[in-house]
């Protein structure tokens, strides 16, 4: 299986089982994938990784990464599951375990048979988790033998999600520019060079440092903290009215929001136009990014790309500025917002009693994710990734095709 690369990857059939690999994934030629293995969308498999589905099954869901020299294996009849967004650090061993959604497994950790690690856990480097252990959701785990140290904070989870997002973007970057070559000699100045600024590059990843003291655990949009002192909502609104930039307000602090790129704007405007037309006469109304949404229970004021209200819009203190009852929220993802919008921001939006659907639209590839709240309060996830796919927004009884959503958007057309 070449995956469009010149170098053949080491993917092997065994006992009639042939690995299933999504075309968007990247498997390094020095990794070995054998037998009953399923690898999802935007998965990165690093060099030296051994993924052996010879005695059982291995499922690696969308957005996971398995880094250099990792081993994934099991006893006969067992299924190893890496749930969506699992991040397996260099040299780790996963043997017959289930790794929860958006977990981080630290470098050189060993996770033994029948271990179940809950969603959004962080396992420290060199940790040994003995067979049969059940780790609760959002636990920080470390040691040999492993011990649960504390709960994963919002900031730790944000840091983890941002780091994983880099690996989720890496497969496409590898397919675009990775190739075998001859090493350059010292002082050989031929060929293009790239100067990297650590101050202004949007790709710079900030190492996690948990906030302590009075500031608590911060949530950060893609730009930067604007002020350090805490503000009341009234003070924030007064400043925002005079500001030429938009800022998000969260628990007394405000954060500058970076401006969207061209395709981000195209997707947003396409959806506004489509929804305005199809909601006419329905009793529902679509609002674009200039209208703030106030999540009172989370002390959050923010600007979603789109919000839909059915019935009369309700605003905070009847001010006509800060919406409190959206039924549907749409966020258009960009490189700097993807981790926040999928993770912490969604958790904050869940504080809206009126919210029934949360929709994420990628501006860099054909991908729409829809979260619908069912009658028991659970959020059901659906994914659409073909231009011919139709997404039904059940709350407002509207259907859109991805081809309509991505009309005139440059990057997705390459995938059609």
Query: Is the per-residue pLDDT at 195 higher than 50?
Result: no
Which pLDDT does position 406 carry in this prediction?
A: 95
Query: Is the per-residue pLDDT at 120 higher than 60?
Result: yes
CATH fold of 262-413: tt1808, chain A (3.90.1570)
In the chain, CATH 3.90.1570.10 sits at 262-413
Percentages helix, strand, coil for the chain, rounded to the nearest 5? 20, 30, 50
Query: Is the per-residue pLDDT at 79 higher than 50?
Result: yes
209 pLDDT band, cuts 50/70/90, is very low
CATH among 3.40.190.10, 2.40.128.20, 2.160.10.10, 3.40.47.10 for 10-154: 2.160.10.10
| pLDDT tens by residue, 269-319 | 999 999 999 999 899 999 988 899 999 999 999 999 999 999 999 999 998
Average confidence (pLDDT) over 217-237: 60
The DSSP H or E segment spanning 128 is strand 128-129
Helical residues (DSSP H) of 104-210, grouped into ranges: 154-177
Q: What is the pTM of this model?
A: 0.52
Among 7-21, 59-73, 207-221, 370-384, name the one with the lowest average pLDDT. 207-221
Average confidence (pLDDT) over 371-396: 90
In the chain, CATH 2.160.10.10 sits at 10-154
* Closest to 236 measured CA to CA, from 223, 219, 251: 251
Distance of alpha carbon 44 from alpha carbon 255, whole angstroms: 32
Which pLDDT does position 200 carry in this prediction?
A: 40
């Amino acid at each position: 299986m070449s995956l469009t690369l010149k170098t053949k990857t080491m993917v092997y059939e065994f006992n009639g089982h042939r690995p299933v690999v999504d075309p968007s994934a990247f498997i390094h030629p020095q990794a070995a994938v054998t037998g009953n293995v399923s690898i999802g969308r935007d998965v990165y498999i690093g060099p030296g990784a051994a993924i052996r589905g010879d005695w059982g099954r291995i499922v690696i869901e969308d957005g996971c990464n398995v880094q250099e020299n990792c081993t994934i294996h099991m006893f006969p009849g067992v299924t190893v599951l890496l749930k969506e967004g699992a991040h397996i650090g260099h040299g780790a061993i996963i043997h017959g375990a289930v790794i929860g959604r958006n977990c981080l497994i630290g470098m050189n950790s060993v996770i033994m048979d029948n271990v179940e690690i809950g969603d959004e856990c962080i396992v420290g480097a060199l940790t040994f988790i003995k067979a049969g252990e059940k780790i609760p959701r959002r636990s920080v785990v470390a040691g040999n033998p492993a011990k649960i140290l504390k709960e994963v904070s919002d900031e730790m989870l944000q840091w983890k999600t941002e780091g994983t997002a880099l690996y989720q973007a890496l497969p496409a970057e590898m397919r675009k520019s990775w190739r075998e070559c001859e090493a350059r000699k010292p002082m050989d100045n031929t060929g293009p060079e790239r100067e990297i600024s650590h101050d202004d590059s949007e790709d710079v990843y900030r190492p996690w440092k948990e906030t302590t003291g009075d500031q608590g655990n911060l949530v950060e949009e893609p730009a930067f903290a604007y002020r350090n002192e805490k503000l009341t909502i009234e003070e924030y609104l007064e400043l925002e009215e005079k500001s030429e930039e938009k800022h998000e307000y969260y628990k007394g602090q405000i954060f500058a929001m970076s401006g969207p790129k061209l395709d981000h704007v195209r997707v947003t405007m396409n959806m506004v136009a489509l929804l305005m037309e199809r909601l006419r006469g329905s009793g529902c109304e679509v609002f674009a990014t200039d209208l703030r949404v106030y999540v009172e229970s989370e002390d959050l004021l923010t600007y979603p790309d789109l919000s839909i209200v059915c019935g009369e819009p309700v605003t905070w203190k009847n001010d006509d500025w800060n919406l409190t009852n959206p039924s549907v929220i749409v966020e258009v993802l960009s490189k700097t917002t993807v981790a926040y919008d999928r993770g912490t921001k969604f958790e904050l939006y869940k504080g809206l009693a009126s919210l029934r659907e949360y929709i994420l639209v990628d501006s860099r590839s054909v991908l729409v994710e829809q979260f619908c709240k069912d009658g028991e309060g659970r959020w059901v996830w659906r994914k659409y990734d073909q231009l011919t796919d139709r997404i039904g927004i059940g709350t407002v009884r509207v259907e859109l095709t991805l081809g309509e959503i991505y009309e005139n958007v440059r990057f997705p057309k390459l995938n059609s």
